[in-house]
A and B are shown apart, each in its own frame.
Chain A
């Protein structure tokens, strides 16, 4: 017979979490031999680049546009933010190609794949709103071009790319929150199901 403590939500949640993802599975000591290949490093490269993107983004948010436009250090941090985004997408696309050709959704890993797809689309949105939030001629050009595309879809009424305040909020609040949350879920799914084995390993 279950006690009152067994029935409370904190106990049930803890038991479920520990059962699904025990600590040695969350932070494993070893990985399967097939992981020792360069094609498996691009996921963690993307993760490392994301950490630099967030860190430099926080510095840019603290100091503001005048700093990143006019000071030497501001230019440097702005460039770090841009180039870590370049590395982020570079690594993420190679990660995507690698996982596509190894059919990484096998073995009950559908949700790992799906969260990755949604994360990719979220990152494209984050990159786009970043380009239109630069507050320079480049961002003016991109936003005036993009408005025609978005208006053609009917989305311009709720997502106005010419509204700098709205684009900046999407870029520094909503999309980073979504990207970090989805990354956490994606990595947790990888930990629960393990790294997908090559085709010859499952024959």
Chain B
């Protein structure tokens, strides 16, 4: 099995899409995952230390 086959087995998209239903809100699981990743990235960007920040002079 080549790399493509291996990836295909992990990310098998050959089926009907899965959806989350929440009242009138309906979104696909893949979109929900992307939104979740965006929220995680946003929060990480606020709290993770930025490399080289300590070495910078204030105001520069």
Query: Which A residues contact B (CB, under 8 angstroms)?
Result: 30, 32-33, 36-39, 41-42, 86, 90, 93-94, 97-98
Contact = CB atoms under 8 A, between A and B. Distances in A.
Interface of B: 34, 37-38, 41-42, 44-46, 48, 50, 52-53, 56-60
Nearest to B55: A36
A98 B38 contact: no
A116 B53 CA distance: 28
Contact of A39 (B37, B46, B58): B46
Given A42-B45, A94-B45, A98-B45, A36 B56 contact: yes
Say what secondary structure dominates the interface of chain A.
Answer: helix
6 contacts: A33-B57, A37-B50, A38-B45, A39-B42, A42-B45, A93-B38
Contact of B45 (A30, A33, A39, A90): A39
Contacts of A41: 45
A101 B12 CA distance: 38
A183 to B, nearest CB: 21
Contacts of A32: 59-60
Contact of B59 (A33, A42, A86, A98): A33
Residue of A30, A33, A38, A94 ringed by the most chain B CB atoms within 10 A:
A38
A30 B42 contact: no
